[in-house]
Structure 1
Amino acid sequence: MGLPSVIVLPLLIVVAAGVYYIYNEILHFMSKSLVRNKVVVITDAVSGVGTECARLFHKGGARLILCGTGWDKLESLYDSLTTDADPRETFAPKLVILDFSDMDSMEDVIAEVVDCYGCVDVLICNSSMKLKAPVQSISLEQDRNIMDVNYFGPSTLAKGVLPMMISRRSGHIVLVNSIQGRLAVPFRSSYAASKHAAQAFFDCLRAEVEEYGIIVSTISHTFINASEPPPVEEPVPKPNPVAEFIARQLTHGVRPSVLANEIMQTVNRKRKEVLLVHPIPRVALHLRSLFPPFLFAVLAAGVKDSVLAEQMQ
């Protein structure tokens, strides 16, 4: 006797949910085994995303080289990773001082990174400097500084480990970029320019090194949302509907843990390009290609709106 039709759909939903859960558990288990013994370099490891990445890769048995601008935070991260860790399953991380704003030190830093294990399997370029201001208020020194941190630093570090990867005919370079590397937003001129430059560099690099078995990945995400937005205490003027909708989207970001997990999956599955954004930026990317005048008009209207302007400045 067959099952009543009224319970067939719920049963299928339960079965599908069970299969999906098992599939995710298998992927999670495989993600750990795939990075075991791999030499993984993480820049700005003391940031929210960097710390979450360090935890994931450390638990997976990777040989970590953690980079940061100061010893105190690096040593604190080291202690949090090694405390109660099983030495049979994990490796104690190596620490390297790296400051992309000091480009003169890059040659020595690259040599130190390479000397840690003699090779680099995965390079995760996670460092980023943000700047929100009107174009006319940004100095040339600020422009240069943000280009050093967001473009010249990651590209120089990638060039430094590249000869070793080419000789071994293997390696993976991951650029943790921003959606603003593909879509410029008002009041982010220097930031967007640096991210566009980094996107272009790593896109070119991907094509040039594919013949050597080297994978180059870019992850474009919205802003990192490490905390809940503060409540609005004072009443604000009601914006126009288009600006209000865009402003609502700007209050949503990606959690560090979510982005770190995406980085792990990108390394394991050898993805070349990942978009970790909400629907609005995706639509805007298509508008930028197909109907640029419309997108420009929407952005200009948003800047004129007082509420949206306050959120972006």
Structure 2
Amino acid sequence: MALPSVMVLPLLIVVAAGVYYIYNEVMQFMSKSLVRNKVVVITDAVSGVGTECAHLFHKGGARLILCGTSWDKLESLYDSLTNDADPRETFAPKLVILDFSDMDSMEDVVAEVVECYGCVDVLICNSSMKMKAPVQSVSLEQDRNIMDINYFGPSTLAKGVLPTMISRRSGNIVLVNSIQGRLAVPFRSSYAASKHAAQAFFDCLRAEVEEFGIVVSTISHTFINASDPPPVEEPAPKPNAVTAFIAKQMTHGVRPSVLANEIMQTVNRKRKEVVLAHPIPWVALYLRSLLPSFLFAVLSAGVKDSVLAEQMQ
């Protein structure tokens, strides 16, 4: 007996949802097997995203090299990874102190990272420093510091591990960047400049090393939202509908677990560029290319509105 036409669409939706669920489960299972025995370096491993990545790759059987500025935090992460782990299925991580604000130490750090296993299969550059301030209030010292952490540090580390990848003709370098590497937002001049520089460097690197079988990936995301959802409160008076809508959209962010999963999928599927953003940044990216004058006018108007200026990340 034929199904009533009214039942066809709901049935198709259920089937599609089931297929999508099975597909995701299969891909997650494959993700773990693909990173097994791979030497994976994670910078700023003690951050929210870094910790989530460490857990994912450790469960997948990767040989982790965890980097961070605090030895105590690295040891705490080490304990959380190894306490309940099966030593027959996982490897004990190696820990390396890495501080991109101290560029004089980078040569020694690179040597230590490479010496851990003699090679690097995957480098995940996850370190980042944020700054929010008007242009005229940012000192040259602050500019240099943020450039060291967000640009010079990751690029120097990438150069350091590159010879081992070239000699083996394989490897994956992942830059966990920001949407502001592609779209500048007011009051983020130094931060956006450092992210633009990093984006450009790794875009160039991608083209230069493709012939050696090395994949360079960039992940551009909106701000990391690691906080709990705020309590529901009575809405304050809104200056206007458009500004209120944009301000609400800009409060959305990417959860650390979601970004970590995306990093894992990017490595396994050898994706070259990923953008994790809700509709407003996507629209802004297109406007930047197609109607830049309009976007500049909107951003300038938004600076005058205190609500929008506070919500932009």
TM-score of the alignment, normalized to the shorter chain, above 0.5: yes
Q: By how many angstroms is 1:10 displaced? A: 2.7
Q: Deviations over 1:112-162 (max 9, x none)?
A: 000000000000000000000111111111000000000000000000000
Q: Match of 2:219, SS?
A: strand
Q: Match of 1:123, SS?
A: strand
In 1, distance between residues paired with 2:3 and 2:232? 53
Q: Deviations over 1:32-65 (max 9, x none)?
A: 0000000000000000000000000000000000
Q: By how many angstroms is 1:237 displaced? A: 4.3
In 1, distance between residues paired with 2:47 and 2:303? 30
Q: By how many angstroms is 1:21 displaced? A: 1.4
Q: Match of 1:235, SS?
A: coil
Q: Match of 2:85, SS?
A: coil
In 2, distance between residues paired with 1:130 and 1:32? 32
In 2, distance between residues paired with 1:275 and 1:219? 6
In 2, distance between residues paired with 1:74 and 1:16? 43
Q: CA RMSD in A?
A: 1.5
Runs of 4+ displaced beyond 4 Å? 229-237
Q: Does 1:83 align with 2:83?
A: yes
Seq. identity, %? 90
Q: Match of 1:91, SS?
A: coil
Q: Deviations over 1:256-303 (max 9, x none)?
A: 000000000000000000000011111101101111110011011111
Q: By how many angstroms is 1:308 displaced? A: 1.7
In 2, distance between residues paired with 1:213 and 1:69? 32
Q: Is the 8 A contact 1:40 1:122 kept in 2?
A: yes
* Structure 2: runs of 5 or more not aligned: none
* Structure 1: runs of 5 or more not aligned: none
Q: Is the 8 A contact 1:225 1:254 kept in 2?
A: yes
Q: Match of 1:84, SS?
A: coil
Q: Is the 8 A contact 2:184 2:192 kept in 1?
A: yes
In 1, distance between residues paired with 2:310 and 2:37? 48
Q: By how many angstroms is 1:93 displaced? A: 0.4
Q: Is the 8 A contact 1:58 1:90 kept in 2?
A: yes
TM norm structure 2: 0.97
Q: Is the 8 A contact 1:243 1:301 kept in 2?
A: no
In 2, distance between residues paired with 1:308 and 1:296? 15
Q: By how many angstroms is 1:20 displaced? A: 1.5
In 2, distance between residues paired with 1:281 and 1:161? 33
Q: Deviations over 1:178-228 (max 9, x none)?
A: 000000000000000000000000000000000000000000000000013
Q: Match of 2:129, SS?
A: coil
Q: Match of 1:120, SS?
A: coil
In 2, distance between residues paired with 1:225 and 1:160? 31
Q: Match of 1:44, SS?
A: coil
TM norm structure 1: 0.97
Size of the alignment, in residue pairs? Answer: 313
Q: By how many angstroms is 1:244 displaced? A: 1.7
Q: By how many angstroms is 1:233 displaced? A: 6.6
Q: Is the 8 A contact 2:251 2:312 kept in 1?
A: no
Q: Does the C-alpha gap of structure 1 residues 74 and 242 become closer, same or farther in structure 2, counting only changes over 3 Å? A: same
Stretch moving more, 229-238 or 120-129: 229-238
In 2, distance between residues paired with 1:251 and 1:58? 32
Residue in structure 2 matched with residue 297 of structure 1 by the alignment: 297
Q: Match of 1:96, SS?
A: strand
In 2, distance between residues paired with 1:77 and 1:5? 55
Q: By how many angstroms is 1:229 displaced? A: 5.3
